[in-house]
Amino acid sequence: MGISTATQKSELLGAPKRSEGLPERSEGGPRTNEANRARKLEVIRPNPEVREKASRRQFSAEYKRRILLEADQSEEGGIGALLRREGLYSSHLTTWRRQREAGEIAGLEPRKRGKKGSPRNPLTEEVVRLNRENERLKKRLQQAETIIEVQKKLCTILGLPVATTEESE
C-alpha cells in the first residue's frame, strides 16, 4: 500500500513518471528560490490598516476645471481612461459639468456638508436693541411711579395739598 492511487492511475494510463524527463520544481528553471525571494521583495504591499475615520475626498476648483477640460478634449474611450487614472466616477463629471453650466464658479469649490445656517436678517439686531431699551424704560417708569406714590402719601401725612393729574394738565 505504499503507492498512492494517483500514482497507480498514472502508471495504468502510461503516463511518464516525474523522474522520466520532467524537471522537478526545485531544480533549475525559471523559478528558483532566489528568484522567488527577489520577486517577493519587489512587490509593494499596501498598508492593510484601515483609517480610524474615513475622510471624504475634496477636489479643488482648479482640479475640477482641469479634469473637465481633459474630458471635453478626449476622444472616444478617453473619458473612461481618464476616470480610471484619476480614480473618479462618471457622476463627478456630471455634477461638475452641471455646476459649470450654471455659472457656479464658486460652486466648484468644495462646500461644507451638513445643515446650512439661516441667512441673517439685518433687522434682528435692531429688534434686540429696541427690546432691551424698552425693558430698561419700563423699569425706570416703574421706579418713577413708585416715587410719585410715596410723595403722595407723604403729602397726605403732612397735610399738604396733593396735585392731581387733572389739575397739572
Res 77: pLDDT:
84
Res 169: pLDDT:
45
Which of 37-46, 57-66, 85-94, 132-141 has the highest average model confidence (pLDDT)? 132-141
Q: Are 40 and 72 in contact (CB under 8 A)?
A: no
Res 140 pLDDT > 70: yes
Tell which residue, 56, 86, 59, 61, has the closest CA to residue 74: 86
Task: Quickly count: other Cβ atoms within 10 Å of residue 71's Cβ.
Answer: 19
> Grid coordinates representing 108?
466648484
Q: Are 60 and 109 in contact (CB under 8 A)?
A: yes
CA–CA distance from 93 to each of 18, 40, 108 (Å)? 58, 39, 11
Res 119 pLDDT > 70: yes
36: pLDDT confidence band, cut at 50, 70 and 90?
A: low
Res 102: pLDDT:
79
Tell me the helix, strand and coil percentages in the chain, rounded to 5: 55, 0, 45
**On the CB side of 125, how many CA atoms lie within 13 Å of its CA?**
2
- Mean pLDDT across 130-152: 95
Tell which residue, 38, 104, 28, has the closest CA to residue 65: 104
Mean confidence (pLDDT) of the chain: 76
